[in-house]
């Protein structure tokens, strides 16, 4: 499982923005040694995407991949104020994680990386449509607003 996680981690780290050459993703986990078979990353905030990891989660799900996306903020239990989880990132930041299980073969890991490529291309073509969908009533979204 650690080998498969390392493969996915290296694959994500190899993604580059075509214009700037900067990495598409910022890897957040500890790396290949002494950790769980989990890959944690975020879209590189330097690239100022019009979408986030939650949008990417939804597009990946259309390819039957469930990659958990998380917002990096929390509601204060007393005031209800939305606060960032970390001091070095704004509360609007998001991240995702991939839990590698024993049945995730090398072929499936390669398929997942291809699904990431396709999802990024879809999101680039969507011109912010996923961001606008995020702020609508989820009960009415279902799959009617597919962009890709």
For residue 5, name the pLDDT band (cuts at 50, 70, 90): very high
For residue 140, name the pLDDT band (cuts at 50, 70, 90): very low
Handedness of CA 36, 98, 14, 104 (dihedral sign): positive
115-134 pLDDT per residue, tens: 999 999 999 988 767 665 55
pLDDT of residue 4 exceeding 50: yes
| Distance (Å, whole) CA 14 – CA 61 | 22
φ/ψ of 91, rounded to 5, equals -65, -20
pLDDT of residue 148 exceeding 80: no
35-47 pLDDT per residue, tens: 789 999 999 999 9
| Distance (Å, whole) CA 13 – CA 27 | 7
Pairing mode of beta strands 94-99, 68-71: antiparallel
Nearest Cα to Cα of residue 69 among 44, 91, 97: 97
Task: State mean pLDDT over 133-138.
Answer: 50
| Distance (Å, whole) CA 47 – CA 2 | 29
pLDDT at 126 (0 to 100) = 84
């Amino acid at each position: 499982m650690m080998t498969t996680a390392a493969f996915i981690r290296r694959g994500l780290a190899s993604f580059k923005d075509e214009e700037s050459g900067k990495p598409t993703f910022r890897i957040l986990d500890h790396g290949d040694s002494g950790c769980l078979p989990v890959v944690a990353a975020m879209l590189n905030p330097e690239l100022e995407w019009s979408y986030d990891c939650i949008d990417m989660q939804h597009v990946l799900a259309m390819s039957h991949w469930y990659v958990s996306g998380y917002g990096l903020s929390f509601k204060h239990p007393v005031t209800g104020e939305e606060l960032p989880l970390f001091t070095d990132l704004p509360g609007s930041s998001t991240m995702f994680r991939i839990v590698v299980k024993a049945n995730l073969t090398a072929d499936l890991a390669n398929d997942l990386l291809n699904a990431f490529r396709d999802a990024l291309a879809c999101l680039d073509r969507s011109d912010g449509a996923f961001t606008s969908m995020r702020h609508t009533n989820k009960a009415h979204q279902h799959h009617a607003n597919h962009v890709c």
